[in-house]
Amino acid sequence: MTYFWLKAGHIIFVIFWMAGLFMLPRYFVYHQESDPNSAESARWIDRERKLLKIILWPSLALVWILGLALAINIGAFSQGWFHAKLALVLLLTAYHVWLAGYGAALARGERKLTGRQLRMLNEVPGIAAAVIVVLVVIKPF
């Protein structure tokens, strides 16, 4: 029964985390299109901060805690597909941390990327999620 609760919790928080990873770069696009010193820009800074604080960071922590507990429960550390999945989750975690840093820079008025570049970055979590699902379901190696 523990396995099923761990799996359910892991999937729930992966969904929350992925939703946040899709939303944040889109928020950045809208933020960058606003006047840097406007009330609208201040609202985007607040939205981005809340998304990170309320959804993204807690979801990330729970994805890792429940995912590692699940991996221990099923003995996944000796399986090749799990190593590939873990590498992709590490990359998504780095992407998450980078997004948080970009949000802080954007809040300071630094606009390092174009809207187009941010829209392209918005595809990263979707591609990673697709590959992770294939690894977990198909277990190709």
| pLDDT (0 to 100) of residue 111 | 94
pLDDT, the chain, mean? 97
CA distance 74 to 139: 14
- The residue extents of the domains of the chain are 2-138
SS3 content of the chain, % helix, strand, coil (to 5): 85, 0, 15
10 is in an annotated binding site: yes
Q: In whole angstroms, what is the distance from residue 71 CA to residue 52 CA?
A: 26
* 31 assigned to a ligand binding site: no
pLDDT in tens, 88-103: 999 999 999 999 999 9
pLDDT value at residue 25: 96
pLDDT tens for each residue of 24-67: 999 999 999 999 999 999 999 999 999 999 999 999 999 999 99
pLDDT digits (tens, 9 = 90+) for 113-124: 999 999 999 999
pLDDT recorded at residue 71: 97
How far does Cα 45 stand from its chain's mean position?
18
